[in-house]
Chains A and B, each alone.
Chain A
Amino acid sequence: MGVVRIAVIQFPGTNCEYETQRALISAEASADIVSWQLSSEELVRYDGVVIAGGFSFQDRVRAGAIAAQLPIMQGVREMAAAGKPVLGICNGCQVLAEAGLIPMGEAGNIEVGMAHNTREGQPIGFICDWVYVRVQPSNNLFLKGLEDHVLPIPINHGEGRFVLTDRAIAALPTLGSLVYCDSAGEVTPHFPINPNGAYANLAGLGNLDGNVLAMMPHPERANFLKQIPTFIDSVWADHKQQFPNALIETPGPWAVLFQNMVTYCHRQGDH
């Protein structure tokens, strides 16, 4: 297989597509920012797809709801069904949830709701901060090699609280997931460790087949060591202090996620 081609979908209101493209290029993919008006037929020619963060369609109706209804999402569904990697980041996570792509992947059947942030049950509005997540062991292709790692990552959302149906809760142990934790990896349900009141501290959730990942935090903003702040309690902040002149390309904690996506596409292409 030659160069892996990944599509980054740009809806009106998407605002993280260029950082996402940059992260994919650093993983040696060819990443195209494609319009939401691209046909499904053209989209499925790509090896994988990312729905980046932002406020698609100004969050009208609900965050991600309008984008989830667009014809291009049929292409995303087909790619997911074909085993191609599908990543949704922040607003992309909300779009995948609204489209029913996590966790069951049944079109028209929503099993996950992304509710407004709460602190101990009270609405708290938009949050923008660095948090820590623990990667749960699973079959998810994006999380390979990151199992049980505790990684810093920024969050930036108003509606990021995972709410699951009973059916999704029953499937949870078999799904790839990221859970909010403290810097030592301890998972406790209270603010600020769980910054938005998410069910089971969920920060991200995969599908049953392990080729879809929807995550509220922003891995593209922690893809390079340069992006990591020194004030956080993490070995990655220590690295940055040790190497203040690190090259812009020096990988950060989440570079592995994008590399996993590209590596998986290569393997698929070889078969």
Chain B
Amino acid sequence: MSVHAFVSLKQPDLHAISALASLKTAFGDAAPKNLFRCRHLVFTAAAYPALSADFLTPLLATRFDIVNPNKEQIGWNVPPVVTLSDGLALFWIDLIPRQPDPAPKLRLADREVAMTSRVTWGIVLPTGGLGNEALQSRVFDVFVIGKSGVSPLLVNPVLETAQFI
């Protein structure tokens, strides 16, 4: 049983701002319109009693080393909701480490909970009349894999794989 927490900054994310500027330089008009970035925490514990966001919320509120309440907010189990203008689409991409670190064990209340952390990118781009599958393919090829002599920026293919959420 796993619970997912998507931790995003309350302030503008400088990683996302710099990545977007870099993609605009590389891809021009074909670059994304916006980028979002989250820390994706996955909490896992023994099956019973079931782990839940309700259980984790008050406990994480005291673990500033995991989530800093001054700077960060948590969305449980789904990435943050983003309001989009007409003609734009948002895709969330999870980066999965090829060689994951051992999950550290946390003591939360009387339970031992394993926590892993990875990065999730949100990519906003114009639909341009394309269907969902074609758009996903474009996101993956251009911004994740990298093409035309441009190294991939959002994913390092040696260290990570990427999958849509």
Residues of chain A whose beta carbon lies under 8 Å from any beta carbon of chain B? 57-58, 60-62, 65-66, 68-71, 98-100, 107-113, 115, 118, 121-123, 163-165
Report the stretch among B2-10, B54-62, B126-134, B142-150 that lies at the interface: B142-150
Across the interface, do A61 and B19 meet the contact criterion of CB distance under 8 Å? yes
Instruction: Judge whether B101 is part of the interface by a CB distance below 8 angstroms.
Output: yes
Contact A61-B15, Cβ < 8 Å, known A69-B26, A71-B25, A112-B158: yes
Most B Cβ at <10 Å: residue of A69, A70, A107, A115:
A69
Across the interface, do A108 and B147 meet the contact criterion of CB distance under 8 Å? yes
Instruction: Judge whether B46 is part of the interface by a CB distance below 8 angstroms.
Output: no
Give the docked Cα–Cα distance between A108 and B19 (Å).
16
How many residue pairs link A and B with beta carbons under 8 A? The number is 68
Question: Which chain B residues lie closer than 8 Å to A165 at the CB level?
Answer: 158
Question: Which chain A residues lie closer than 8 Å to B149 at the CB level?
Answer: 107-108
Across the interface, do A62 and B18 meet the contact criterion of CB distance under 8 Å? no
Most B Cβ at <10 Å: residue of A68, A112, A113, A122:
A113
- Closest chain-B Cβ to A36's Cβ sits at a distance in Å of 12
Can you spell out 28 A-B residue pairs with CB atoms less than 8 angstroms apart?
Answer: A57-B18, A60-B19, A61-B18, A66-B22, A66-B153, A69-B25, A69-B26, A69-B151, A70-B22, A70-B25, A71-B25, A99-B151, A100-B151, A107-B150, A108-B146, A108-B147, A108-B149, A108-B150, A108-B152, A110-B158, A111-B158, A112-B158, A113-B156, A118-B101, A121-B101, A122-B101, A122-B102, A163-B158
Contact A110-B26, Cβ < 8 Å, known A61-B18, A121-B102: no
Contact A69-B22, Cβ < 8 Å, known A115-B99, A122-B101: yes
Instruction: Judge whether B14 is part of the interface by a CB distance below 8 angstroms.
Output: yes
Across the interface, do B158 and A66 meet the contact criterion of CB distance under 8 Å? no
Instruction: Judge whether B157 is part of the interface by a CB distance below 8 angstroms.
Output: yes
* Smallest CB gap from B15: residue in A: A60
Question: Which chain A residues lie closer than 8 Å to B147 at the CB level?
Answer: 108
Question: Which chain B residues lie closer than 8 Å to A58 at the CB level?
Answer: 14
- Closest chain-A Cβ to B34's Cβ sits at a distance in Å of 15
Partner of A65, one of B25, B101, B153: B153
Instruction: Judge whether B78 is part of the interface by a CB distance below 8 angstroms.
Output: no
Across the interface, do B151 and A110 meet the contact criterion of CB distance under 8 Å? yes
Give the docked Cα–Cα distance between A115 and B150 (Å).
21
Give the docked Cα–Cα distance between A163 and B19 (Å).
23
Give the docked Cα–Cα distance between A121 and B101 (Å).
7
Across the interface, do B14 and A60 meet the contact criterion of CB distance under 8 Å? yes
Give the docked Cα–Cα distance between A66 and B151 (Å).
10
Question: Which chain A residues lie closer than 8 Å to B154 at the CB level?
Answer: 61
Contact A65-B150, Cβ < 8 Å, known A115-B99, A123-B101: no
Most B Cβ at <10 Å: residue of A61, A62, A111, A122:
A61
Give the docked Cα–Cα distance between A70 and B102 (Å).
34
Across the interface, do A113 and B18 meet the contact criterion of CB distance under 8 Å? no
- Closest chain-B Cβ to A214's Cβ sits at a distance in Å of 14
* Smallest CB gap from B152: residue in A: A110
Question: Which chain B residues lie closer than 8 Å to A113 at the CB level?
Answer: 156, 158-159
Across the interface, do B153 and A69 meet the contact criterion of CB distance under 8 Å? yes
Beyond A61-B22, A69-B150, A108-B151, 15 additional contacts (C-beta under 8 Å) are A57-B18, A60-B18, A61-B19, A61-B154, A69-B151, A70-B22, A98-B156, A107-B149, A107-B151, A108-B152, A110-B151, A110-B156, A112-B158, A113-B159, A121-B101
- Closest chain-B Cβ to A176's Cβ sits at a distance in Å of 20
Contact A66-B99, Cβ < 8 Å, known A108-B150, A110-B156, A163-B158: no
